[in-house]
Amino acid sequence: MAERIQKILARAGYGSRREIERWVNAGDITVNGVVATTGQAVDENDKITIRGKVIKFASKLKAKPQVLLYHKKVGEICSRNDPEGRPTVFDNLPKLSSGRWIQVGRLDINTDGLLIFTTDGELANRLMHPSYEIEREYASRILGKVTDEMIDRLTTGVELEDGMAKFTRIKFEGGEGANSWYHVVLNEGKNREVRRLWESQDVVVSRLRRIRYGDIILHRSLRRGEHEKLPVRAMRNLYEKVKMELDEENFLSKSAYKNRAERNAAFKYGKKKRK
């Protein structure tokens, strides 16, 4: 069945829809020898090239998708390559035999915490799209006095340079002296939004960590710079969250796991609730 080019290539893991649209607009993708257009319908029988390289995406559409959780360190940038030679979040990810890791959202260089990567570009697109209102929760250490009036403004809405923004929830988590901790929740992912919201109230964010994305929580066992694959049961919940269905046939095949115990362990994964 024919699908829009950015959707089918994203699903095959070549990038997010947004990335693929950029490549189409730049003339980097051809279909059957002709420069592709945004929204063009293609199917598995079409010959598609990306930057001169013919891709074989039919098999990748049937491949087992993967989701990876990564604990980003302060000082790492959310980019595949950096002209300044700084470490990137991709440096510590496991190598893939085919496809590539697609990053779900970004964190700035001075923020640590949970990042999600997937080989399924359509999943990445939906997890980032504002229409699905996926919650992002951050632990923020604030330097300066936070008043009830400030909290009211931050949860009602503040005009930033790129439009209105707000926290959907703010919870005080303790602190001493000039520093205090607040957990804040957003339903979108504008650039440096948490920092800019707090700074609009003339206080300073002295530390920031993302601790949750949707239902996925950053557990203490996942140390900075380390990663872990999301098991099947949790992946199913993640797909359902964005109205997608996970094809679990690939996960149930004998070749998917080394033995029955490994397969059973993957399906017994349970989410830990934050107290």
Complete DSSP assignment for 191-240: TTHHHHHHHTTT-EEEEEEEEEETTEE--TTS-TT-EEEPPHHHHHHHHH
Query: What pLDDT score does 275 carry?
Result: 36
Residue 124 sits in the same domain as residue 223: yes
Which is catalytic among the residues 28, 46, 108, 215?
A: 108
- The CATH number of the domain where 233 resides is what? 3.30.70.580
Rounded to whole angstroms, how far apart are CA atoms 187 and 224?
A: 25
The continuous run of DSSP H or E covering 67 comes out as: strand 67-72
Quick check: is 162 catalytic? no
Residue 101 sits in the same domain as residue 235: yes
Residue 111 sits in the same domain as residue 234: yes
Residue 207 sits in the same domain as residue 233: no
Task: Decide which of 24, 46, 61 is a domain's last residue.
Answer: 61
Query: How many structural domains is the chain composed of?
Result: 3
pLDDT per residue, tens digit, the chain (275 aa), is 788 998 888 888 788 888 899 999 999 999 999 999 989 999 888 999 998 888 888 777 777 889 999 999 999 999 988 889 999 999 999 998 767 899 999 999 999 999 999 998 889 989 998 899 999 999 999 999 999 999 999 999 999 998 999 999 999 999 877 899 999 999 987 889 999 999 999 999 999 999 999 999 999 999 999 999 999 889 999 999 999 988 766 555 444 444 444 444 444 433 433 33
- Of 238, 148, 158, 146, give the one whose Cα is nearest residue 200: 158
Residue 107 sits in the same domain as residue 231: yes
Domain assignment present for residue 272? The answer is no
Q: What sections of 65-201 are H helices per DSSP? A: 121-128, 148-156, 193-199
Query: What pLDDT score does 273 carry?
Result: 37
- Radius of gyration of the chain from its Cα atoms, rounded to whole angstroms: 21
Domain assignment present for residue 175? The answer is yes
Rounded to whole angstroms, how far apart are CA atoms 118 and 100?
A: 8
Rounded to whole angstroms, how far apart are CA atoms 140 and 196?
A: 12
Residue 125 sits in the same domain as residue 140: no
| DSSP conformation class of 256 | G
Do 112 and 72 meet the contact criterion of CB atoms below 8 Å apart? Answer: yes
53's CB contacts (< 8 A; 6+ apart) are none
Domain that holds residue 142: 135-213
- The residue written with tokens 């399924």 in the block is 120
Do 138 and 192 meet the contact criterion of CB atoms below 8 Å apart? Answer: no
- The residue written with tokens 């980019």 in the block is 79
Residue 40 sits in the same domain as residue 85: no
Residue 13 sits in the same domain as residue 55: yes
Task: Decide which of 61, 79, 102 is a domain's last residue.
Answer: 61
Domain assignment present for residue 275? The answer is no
Query: What pLDDT score does 15 carry?
Result: 80
Query: What pLDDT score does 250 carry?
Result: 59
Task: Decide which of 35, 61, 87 is a domain's last residue.
Answer: 61
* Dihedral pair phi/psi, residue 270, rounded to 5°: -125, 145
